[in-house]
Structure formats: C-alpha cells, structure tokens
Chains A and B, each alone.
Chain A
Amino acid sequence: MKRRDAVKQLLSQRADLLVIAGLGSTAWDCTAAGDSPLTFPMWGAMGQAAMMGLGVAIAQPARRVLVITGDGEALMGLGALATIGVQKPENLTLVVIDNERYGETGMQDTHTAHGVDLAGVARACGFNIFDSQQIKNAIHHVPGPNFACIKVEAEKIPLVLPPREGALLKARFRRALLGAQADAE
C-alpha cells in the first residue's frame, strides 16, 4: 500500500473529525490529503502525537479524534499507549503508518523492520485492533481506544508541507473548533 493513498482514504469524508498528525511524513501525508484547520500537524515534539490526541479526546468527548503518525514517532512515545490504555477514551483512534523506516533522516530501519509489533503492543495496552480495511469505520463509529498499524511501502515522495508556525496552527485549530470561545479566555 502507498502511504498517501492510505492517509487520503482515512481522511476522506472526515466530517467533524479532529486530527493530530505526527511529525514528518505523516504530517505531509495529511496535508497532501487536504489541509484543514482541524488538523494539527506537528513539526517537532517527537513521541507526543498520541498524547496530544488523548488531550483533545478528553477535552472534546463528543467529537471523534484521530491521531495519524509514523512508526518511528510512535516508538519514541510507546509509554503513551499504556497511558491511553488506562484512560480508555472512547472517541480516540490511533493509526500508525508503518514504513519500517525513519523517513526524514535517511530511511534507516525502525524497530518495526526487525519484528517489533506495534499492534501487539497496543493490544496489550488495551486498544481495540483493526486492520487497514476496518479502521475507517472504527474511527467514526466504534468505541475506542482503537488502533491500526497500516504497513506501507518505503518510498521517497515529494514533500507537501502544511503551515509551519506553531502559534498559527494552534490558533486556527482552536478557532475552527471553539469559535468565538477560542479567544474569550
């Protein structure tokens, strides 16, 4: 499977889905699928995408929340899977786009290239596990926490970059989500 196709499919007809995109290739994939103020693409804080998703999910229990991140990013924050497993957010889904490579640093192998099974870790932490066909429905309709690891080709493809200023990305997300309340505090 090609990563851009996989992410485009996940984000098609996204309705009011709130999205956190982990740093690197998955942020570019989400942008290629169509930038949105309700997608927060990360340019740093590697390892924190899943926890960002948990924070949004707790703050917005009536909305569905999707984290799309890479295998290297997820590996840097494996403890977050355990933390999410304790909180059991029903509205959160985590999808790892797994090319078994660190794409931004020279395509070096990640641990998943050597047998580490992220879905197995997530299952052990209490996530419901879905395959690449089932996960689209689960994102919107199945009580979470939900997880899918989608294996994709290790390919170098053109960058499609979102805005990079952090304060702008924060403000546009909050305004799109909260309206006038975003600036009322």
Chain B
Amino acid sequence: MWPDDIHRELSAAGVGVVGYVPDAGHKRLIELCQADNNMRAVVLSTEEEGIGLAAGAWLGGQKSVLLMQSSGVGNIVNVLGMVRECRFPLVTLVTMRGEQGEFNPWQVPMGQAVRPVLEAMGTVVQYADKADDMGAVVNAALRLAYNSYASVAVLISQRLIGIKSFQEQAAK
C-alpha cells in the first residue's frame, strides 16, 4: 500500500518528527508513524502549528514531515513566509479533497486553490496520482527539501484516497 511506501521512505531518510492533523486519507500513514519508535508523532490542533514544529525541529537538528488534508493548506499560508525567508527545509504531504470526484462542495474552493496558494508562497509542488510511484515521489521530495533547503509539497490525488461519500468516510 502507498502509505507503507511513504513510511518506508520517511524512515530511510531519518525523519524523526511527524506533525499531523487527523485525516482520513492519511489514516494508515499516521498509524504507521505512531507505531514507529524512531518517530515522534505530534497531533496538532491546526496545520499552522506544524510549520512551527518543523522549523523548531530543524533548528534542533531533526528532520520532520507534515501531514495534512488540502483544507489545511489554507491554514499555513502566512507562516510559509517564515519557511521561505529562513530557508527551512519542509516536506508537506497533502491528501487532496475538492478535486477528483469530490462529494462535499465546501471542499472544492480550497482544494482547487492548493497549488496556486503553495506556489505563491514559494513552495515546490509535486503531484502523485499513481500508487506505484508514491515511494519514488516522496523520496525525491525529501531529497529536494533536505539537500536543497526547499519547501516541497506532495499533493496526493483524491483518486488514490478513493472515498466517494460521507457514509463511506464515516465508516472508515
């Protein structure tokens, strides 16, 4: 499964801190990180906190990753200014909503704004819509961020998450 591939890449890269806001699309990856003794999984009250967490961890010498849903991108816009000004390496894995096959109209505006908003703030945006590619995409994102001091977001296509209704989401 692609969440297992992501976890394997995070582990191999030595990621020690995982900030996350609970999300259905990241459910399995969050569980894998929580169960990993070499990772500190930090549940956040808003995605914005994850930027401070990641920046602080890097000041202290640790690599991190930030997990969120596309709606969370709207919550981190201003603080991405610090990431850019300070050239903090940052890897954000975004599960997309408001995109392919969305069933909740309230998700669509932010989902459609994710890429331009991130790019406007200087974040490199990469897109993953094939499960088999996920490990390679995340591997490349980690290397770009930590070798080049870049802010990199990987958008994980809603097609891969595959939840098609409220009922299905609630049953997860």
- Taking Cβ atoms with an 8 Å cutoff, the residues of A that contact B are 18, 20, 40, 42-60, 77, 79-80, 82-83, 86-87, 165-167, 169-170, 173-174, 177-178, 181-182, 185
Q: Can you give 14 A-B contacts (C-beta < 8 A)?
A: A44-B78, A47-B79, A48-B49, A48-B51, A48-B82, A55-B52, A56-B57, A56-B59, A79-B45, A82-B45, A83-B42, A169-B86, A170-B87, A181-B61
Query: When the two chains form their complex, are residues A54 and B52 in contact, meaning their CB atoms are under 8 A apart?
Result: yes
Cross-chain contact of A45 among B44, B78, B146 (Cβ < 8 A): B78
Count of interface residues, chain B, beta-carbon cutoff 8 Å:
34
Cβ of B92 within 8 Å of any chain A Cβ, yes or no, is no
Q: What are the residues of chain B within 8 A of A185 when measuring CB–CB?
A: 146-147
Complex: A173 Cα to B88 Cα, angstroms: 12
- Taking Cβ atoms with an 8 Å cutoff, the residues of B that contact A are 16-17, 40, 42-46, 48-62, 64, 78-79, 81-82, 85-88, 146-147
Query: When the two chains form their complex, are residues A170 and B62 in contact, meaning their CB atoms are under 8 A apart?
Result: no
Q: What are the residues of chain B within 8 A of A51 when measuring CB–CB?
A: 49-53, 56
Query: When the two chains form their complex, are residues B52 and A52 in contact, meaning their CB atoms are under 8 A apart?
Result: yes
Complex: A124 Cα to B15 Cα, angstroms: 31
Q: Given A50-B52, A55-B56, A169-B86, 16 other A-B contacts at CB below 8 A?
A: A44-B78, A48-B79, A51-B50, A51-B53, A52-B53, A54-B52, A55-B58, A59-B56, A59-B57, A79-B45, A80-B49, A82-B45, A83-B42, A86-B42, A170-B86, A170-B87
- Min Cβ gap B83→A in Å is 9
Query: When the two chains form their complex, are residues B60 and A59 in contact, meaning their CB atoms are under 8 A apart?
Result: yes
Query: When the two chains form their complex, are residues B87 and A167 in contact, meaning their CB atoms are under 8 A apart?
Result: yes
Query: When the two chains form their complex, are residues B56 and A52 in contact, meaning their CB atoms are under 8 A apart?
Result: yes
Query: When the two chains form their complex, are residues A83 and B56 in contact, meaning their CB atoms are under 8 A apart?
Result: no
Query: When the two chains form their complex, are residues B60 and A56 in contact, meaning their CB atoms are under 8 A apart?
Result: yes
Q: What are the residues of chain B within 8 A of A167 when measuring CB–CB?
A: 85-87
Residue in chain B with minimal CB distance to A168: B86
Q: What are the residues of chain B within 8 A of A80 when measuring CB–CB?
A: 45, 49, 52
Query: When the two chains form their complex, are residues B53 and A54 in contact, meaning their CB atoms are under 8 A apart?
Result: yes
Complex: A181 Cα to B51 Cα, angstroms: 23
- Min Cβ gap A151→B in Å is 25
Q: What are the residues of chain A within 8 A of B88 when measuring CB–CB?
A: 170
Q: What are the residues of chain A within 8 A of B81 when measuring CB–CB?
A: 44-45
Complex: A33 Cα to B81 Cα, angstroms: 27
Complex: A181 Cα to B43 Cα, angstroms: 29
Residue in chain B with minimal CB distance to A59: B60
Query: When the two chains form their complex, are residues B86 and A20 in contact, meaning their CB atoms are under 8 A apart?
Result: no
6 A-B pairs with least C-beta separation: A55-B56, A59-B60, A51-B52, A79-B45, A48-B52, A166-B86
Query: When the two chains form their complex, are residues A45 and B59 in contact, meaning their CB atoms are under 8 A apart?
Result: no
Cross-chain contact of A48 among B48, B61, B85 (Cβ < 8 A): B48
Q: What are the residues of chain A within 8 A of B57 when measuring CB–CB?
A: 55-56, 58-59
Most B-side CB within 10 Å, residue of A42, A45, A54, A167 = A45
- Min Cβ gap A43→B in Å is 8
Cross-chain contact of A79 among B16, B46, B59, B61 (Cβ < 8 A): B46
- Min Cβ gap B144→A in Å is 13
Cross-chain contact of B55 among A46, A55, A58, A181 (Cβ < 8 A): A55
